[in-house]
Amino acid sequence: MIDMEFIENGSVTSVPGFQAAGVTAGFKKSGAPDFALVFSEHPASFAGVFTSCTFAAAPVLLGREKVLKGGTLRAFAINSGNANACTGAQGLENARKSCEIAAEKLGIPASDVVVASTGRIGVQMDMSLIEKGFDLAVPALSAQGGNDAARAIMTTDTVPKAVAVKVKINGVDVTIGAMTKGAGMIDPKLIAPHATMLCCIATDACADNGTLASMLLPCAQDSFNRITVDGDMSTNDTVILMANGKSGVKVLPGSSEYETLRQALLSVMQKLAREMVMDGEGATKFVTVKVVNARSDADAKLAAEAVANSVLCKTAWFGNDPNWGRVVAALGYSGAEFDPAKCNIYYDETPVVRDGGDAGTPESDLLDVVKKREFVITCDFGGGSGEYWVWSSDLSHEYVTINADYHT
């Protein structure tokens, strides 16, 4: 058990040596904040993971390039209101130009800047708004600006999502702070480098790029890659991890320091992942789908994701309907290999299916479970040691309304 505590109202700027700002550049017609900047006072090591969507946005293409080249990072800029996706060569040039503008305003090399975008797909970036964003954000940078930055990256999110922790490593406080956005188009499949959700993570640990990369992807696999709101992967998913070394605590692969930092990083990322599902567009339920005793982890993953993404299951959860027939149908078409006659299903601890058939539990008991804000569906295949879990949400009338009317 690591010695870790969450910081009240924590954010990326809870980390010593990081500043941030959130401003209104004019991307959103509403006039809400729509441009965020996170800045490291010193050159930082970094790592990144990105969407595996073939239609990757221009900032993703540029971010992958930056991660492969290596070096250091000083600034991460995010605009909300234009995804700069499916914008061709001009879009890529605009992403590069955004880095150059940031470099000029901050007095740093353009190679020390990454950008990310979220919003409407297929619209060329208005570079005058990018220029305005930096003009406003650079002088507004502050060691108290983390929560402002978290608000500025929101789209259909109803609340900003930021967190920070302190963890003791060799008796020294090491801090990790992060922010994310995402409420719809959430089913990340983040890969390195090759998450709509965007995430910036900062730490004052001392670790090189390779060490951070070896830590970030596995943590993404057990956090952001375990969530789904609607089964739709974004063109823009991006997670950037920066380490400025200010704590003086050196972290090397295979060391106890590495394992402690990894556990703290995973806690931060899982907390943000959970908040994204809780704030899913129109969501009223938080549902954990677990598959256990499968023939393999791969089979368990197929089955869990099938249930978690099933429109019929998700609408049943919204309607407080304990209809387990939808769960077994999803398991059956998932592609996982299992013996239906050995399958047992539970809603929380309440038996629903036993040996592939009705467990005989009164429907009123099942209704008591699915009425709750949070519950767990456990599918026991009784045929091995494979397991997997997914965090999912329901699908409500409001989700349809939001996405029928959505126009950034």
Residues that are catalytic: 196
Give the Cα separation of 19 and 12 in Å (integer).
Answer: 8
Torsion (CA) 175, 179, 185, 188 in degrees, nearest 10 = -20
- Amino acid, single-letter form, for residue 17: G
Contact 347, 257 (CB under 8 A): no
**Residue 221 buriedness (CB in 10 A; 0-12 / 13-18 / 19+):** middle
Give the Cα separation of 24 and 141 in Å (integer).
Answer: 14
Give the Cα separation of 361 and 369 in Å (integer).
Answer: 12
Q: Where are the alpha helices (DSSP H) in 73-226?
A: 88-106, 127-140, 146-152, 209-221
Give the Cα separation of 308 and 314 in Å (integer).
Answer: 7
Give the Cα separation of 343 and 230 in Å (integer).
Answer: 26
Beta-carbon contacts of residue 88 (< 8 Å; ≥ 6 apart)? none
Lookup: tokens for 350: 């309440």
Secondary structure (DSSP) of 258-327: HHHHHHHHHHHHHHHHHHHHHTSTT---EEEEEEEEESSHHHHHHHHHHHHH-HHHHHHHHTT---THHH
